[in-house]
Amino acid sequence: MLPLSASGDRRRLKALALVGALAFLAVACSHKSMKPRRTTTSQAPSTTAETTSTTESTTSTSTTSTTEPTTTTTSTTTPASTTTTSTTAPTGNAVTYDLADFTITLTSGAITAGMNTVTVTNTGHAPHEINFVRAPTAASLPKTANGAVDFAQVPMMDQLGVLRAAAGTTTTGVFTFTPGSYVALCNVGATGANPHVARGMFIELTVA
Ligand SMILES: [Cu+2]
């Protein structure tokens, strides 16, 4: 009797377990079926939210671009102040030269390493210039057939620049020197028969 009743209880238990399992599955399925529904419902608002946020970002971008022109206006003001600064810069080391027919004479100061503000005054009758070239001596510079300096053969890094002055005028420029040997010369008349430098219009200088 006991084994029978026990087997009967087992059957009942199995049946209950099956029912329970089915019930669990049913609940689980209902949850699964509910979840997609909820997701679908929540997706719609999120899409709307995304659209709204896209609109907001577009609006904010246009606002930023509106601010950019203001920045451009500020940068327009900056070059003006920079120009003012460069006007103040020539207060470095002041050096003056006298350019005559056909000599270059240092009249005040001396070229030093760094920034130099050079002022040349042409007291002669011909137009003159002062070319600063890095070279050991004037004789070492490459020359054309008429004795003018052939700048086409002078390395660009050795050419510091030139100041030109018509007769009776004064010109100022800024030149940056590094220590070494230099030649200051006038190459006016380079294509003529008597270039100024060939007449001795040059001086040699050493920058410490
Ligand atoms: Cu000259």
- Whether 125 and 104 have beta carbons less than 8 Å apart is answered as no
Q: What is the pLDDT of residue 51?
A: 38
Instruction: Say which residue, 193 or 57, is predicted with more confidence.
Output: 193
What is the Å distance from ligand 1's center to 197 Cα? 7
Distance 91 CA to ligand 1 centre (A): 27
What tokens were used for 64?
């930023």
Query: If you measure from the C-alpha of residue 101 to the centroid of ligand 1, how many angstroms do you get, rounded to a whole number?
Result: 7
Q: Which residues contact 172 (CB under 8 A, 6 or more apart)?
A: 90, 117, 118, 119, 120, 163
Q: What is the pLDDT of residues 161-207, one digit of tens each?
A: 999 999 999 999 999 999 999 999 999 999 999 999 999 999 999 99
Q: How far is the CA of 195 from the centre of ligand 1 (A)?
A: 8
Q: Which is nearest to 183 in space by CA: 145, 146, 142?
A: 142
Look over the chain and give the mean of its residue pLDDT values, rounded to a whole number.
74
Instruction: Identify the three-state secondary structure at position 110.
Output: coil
pTM attached to this predicted model: 0.58
Instruction: Give yes or no for residue 84 having a pLDDT over 60.
Output: no
- CA contacts within 13 A on the Cβ side of 205: 24
Give me ligand 1 centre to Cα 124, in Å.
9
By the CB criterion, residues less than 5 angstroms from ion ligand 1 are 128, 186, 188, 196, 201
> Strand 202-207 vs strand 103-108: parallel, antiparallel, or unpaired?
unpaired
In this structure, are residues 92 and 115 in contact, taking their beta carbons and an 8 Å threshold? yes
Which pLDDT score is estimated for 9? Answer: 60
